[in-house]
Structure 1
Amino acid sequence: MRQFGHVGSYQPGDIFANRLALSAAGLHRPTRAGISGTQHEGVDSIVVADAYEDDVFTDEEIRYAGHGGRDPRTGKQVTDQLLTDRNLALVKSHATGRPIRVLRKVAHEGSTVFRYEGLFQVTAYEYTQGIAGYGIWLFRLKPSRLPEQTPSTRSA
C-alpha cells in the first residue's frame, strides 16, 4: 500500500547511506527509479539525484524534470519526454494535492548520501524546452504546508 506523507519517525534532515537504505526505510521504495507512484494514485516520493540537467533545487522550490528521454549511458536528454506513466503520476499529484516525500543526493562528510528533505506538493507543471533542446515535463514543487517540518540532524 502506497503511503503519502511522512513515514514512521523519519524527519527532514535524516541521512541515508544509499538507495537500498531509502527503500528499506520505506521512504522511497524503488532502488533505481527517481519517481515512486502511479498515474491512478499519484506520487508518494521522488529522488533528486542530479540525473536530469533541468532539475533545479532551491530553498523556495524544486523544478523537477519529468521522466524519460534520457540516454542511460550518458545521462543526457536525447529525445522529448512523453506524458505517460510517471509523468502522469506527478500530474495526478498536482490534482490531488497529496504531499510527496523528497529525497536528495548530497555530499556529506566526504561521501555521497541521500537526505530526506521533507514533504512537498506539486504546485504547477508545464511542457517546455529543456536545456538540451528537447521537450520536457517540468514540475514545480514547493514545501508542503502540512504539518510543520523542522530539519533534524539524525542519521538513519
Structure 2
Amino acid sequence: MSQTLQLFQTVGAAQFSAMVQQMAPYFASIDPLFVELRAGYAEVTFAKRREVLNHIGTVHAIALCNAAELAAGTMTEASIAKGCRWIPKGMTVEYLAKADGDIRVVADGSALDWNSQGDLQVPVMAYVGDKPVFRAQINMYVSQA
C-alpha cells in the first residue's frame, strides 16, 4: 500500500485534504475535499463559491482543470508500483456543460495497468449532481524513481 493511501486511511478525508493543500498550496484555491481515495480511483469535491467563478457565474475552466489534476495525481500516487514516480506530461479537456453548481471530480484509473511504466492516460470526469460538465485525459509519465 502506498504511503499516500495509508495516510488517507489513517487521518481521514478532511485532514488529508488539508494536508494536501499545505503540501501543494495551489490546490487550496479550490478548497477541495477528498471523498474517496483508493488504488485506481479518486473522488474530490469542491463548492461553487465566488473564488472559483468566471465572469458568467459558473465554475471557471481552470478550477475544473485544477481539480482534475489533483484527483488524477493523487490517484496516480496511490496506484503506481513501489519504486516508481510520476509526472503529468499533458492534459486534454472538454467542457461538456455549464458548471453551475458544486463540483464532484472522479479520476477512474481502474482499467489502467499500474505496474507498467511510460505514458498512462488517466481519465477524469467532473459532475454537477449527475450532470457531466467536464472531461479530461491526463497523460501521466511513470518511471523508476
TM-score over 0.5 for the pair = no
- Greater helix percent: which structure? 2
TM-score range, shorter chain: 0.3 to 0.5
Report which structure shows greater RCO (CA 8 Å, sep ≥6).
Answer: 1
